[in-house]
């Protein structure tokens, strides 16, 4: 199955991606995670991406498209994949469309997670992440067993550098201007499946399963 996860920052894309990729056994391709990995390892890509990410802006399309195409060409994507955070504007969607149609491949579902704006700000400002294993927590809705410590690996949790209020507001603005038009773009292709993301994590996942089927 080939799935795109669409939704504003904080909608729960990464959270739902964990369950989907575990159950449907497809690789999770998150452009945000790829950039953060490169920032952590201080690569050339990481140095470039950091300048945009910390300000809440999009990394340039040519760089992002190249990374995704390279990742999609790997063997583990032959049986399907889940794209999280890509495409993020119409130009990236067109690049993806070109890449897939040249290989006679098509997207099965575009899951659009819809969440109220106030809730998004609360989720992002309370998010904490593990710098070691990547696990995501929330200080109120998904706290770790021991405050500030990762349940999986015992590492000290941190706040993402783009989860400060200025970057959050900028990311929401960029979403409205650049990413939201994709709802119409994929709607015209009859691929959009709207998901109510305001509900608890497990209920959101149940809605996703009901829409895409449970043939793992």
Binding site for ligand AP5 (CB under 6 A): 7, 9-15, 31-32, 35, 52-53, 56-59, 64, 85-86, 88, 92, 123-124, 127, 136-138, 141-142, 162, 171, 197, 200-201, 204
Taking each helix axis from N to C terminus, what angle separates 31-40 and 61-72, rounded to the nearest 10 degrees?
Answer: 100
Smaller CB separation from ligand AP5, 105 or 201: 201
* Sequence-separated (6 or more) residues with CB below 8 Å from residue 194: 112, 114
The SS3 call for residue 192 is: strand
- Closest contact distance (angstroms) between CB of 126 and ligand AP5 is 6
Catalytic status, residue 88: yes
Distances (CA, A) of 75 to 8, 11, 71, 81, 82: 30, 30, 9, 11, 14
> Kind and range of the H or E element at 44?
helix 44-53
For binding to Zn ion (CB under 5 A), which residues are involved?
130, 132-133, 135, 150, 152-153, 155
Shortest Cβ contact with ligand AP5: which residue?
32
> What's the min distance (Å) between Cβ of 79 and ligand AP5?
23
**If contact means CB under 5 to 8 A according to the sort of partner, which of Zn ion, ligand AP5, none does residue 82 touch?**
none
CB nearer to ligand AP5: pick between 115 and 191: 115
SS3 of 47-81 = HHHHHHHCCCCCCCHHHHHHHHHHHHCCHHHCCCE
Whether residue 171 lies in the annotated active site: yes
- Rounded Cα distance between 67 and 45, Å, is 10
Residue placing its CB nearer to ligand AP5 in the complex, 104 or 135: 135
Instruction: Find, among 89, 98, 32, the residue nearest to 61 by Cα.
Output: 89
Give the 3-state secondary structure of residue 2.
strand
Q: Which is nearer to ligand AP5, 104 or 134 (CB)?
A: 134
Task: Provide, rounded to whole angstroms, the least separation between the CB of residue 187 and ligand AP5.
Answer: 19
Q: Which does 179 bind (CB under 5 to 8 A by kind): Zn ion, ligand AP5, none?
A: none
Q: Which residues fall in the annotated binding site for Zn(2+)?
A: 130, 133, 150, 153
Cβ pair 171, 56 in contact under 8 A? yes
Closest approach, Cβ 150 to Zn ion, in A, equals: 3
Residue 149 binding partner per list ligand AP5, Zn ion, none, with a CB distance cut-off of 5 to 8 Å that depends on partner kind: none
Q: Could you list the active site residues?
A: 13, 88, 127, 160, 171
């Amino acid at each position: 199955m080939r799935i795109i996860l669409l939704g504003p920052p904080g909608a729960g894309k990464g959270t739902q991606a964990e369950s989907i990729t575990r159950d449907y056994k497809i690789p999770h391709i998150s452009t945000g995670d790829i950039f953060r990995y490169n920032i952590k390892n201080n690569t050339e890509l990481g140095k470039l991406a950091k300048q945009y990410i910390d300000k809440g802006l999009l990394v340039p399309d040519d760089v992002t498209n190249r990374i995704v195409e390279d990742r999609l060409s790997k063997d583990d994507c032959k049986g399907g994949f889940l794209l999280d955070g890509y495409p993020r504007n119409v130009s990236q969607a067109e690049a993806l469309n070109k890449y897939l149609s040249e290989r006679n491949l098509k997207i099965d579902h575009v899951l659009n997670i819809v969440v109220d704006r106030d809730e998004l700000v609360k989720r992002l400002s309370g998010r904490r992440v593990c710098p070691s294993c990547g696990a995501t927590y929330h200080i109120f809705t998904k706290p770790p067993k021991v405050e500030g410590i990762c349940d999986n690996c015992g590492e000290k949790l941190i706040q993402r550098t783009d989860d400060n209020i200025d970057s959050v507001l900028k990311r929401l603005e960029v979403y409205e201007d650049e990413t939201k038009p994709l709802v119409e773009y994929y709607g015209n292709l009859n691929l959009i499946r709207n998901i109510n993301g305001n509900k608890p994590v497990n209920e959101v996942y149940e809605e996703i399963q009901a829409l895409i089927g449970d043939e793992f």
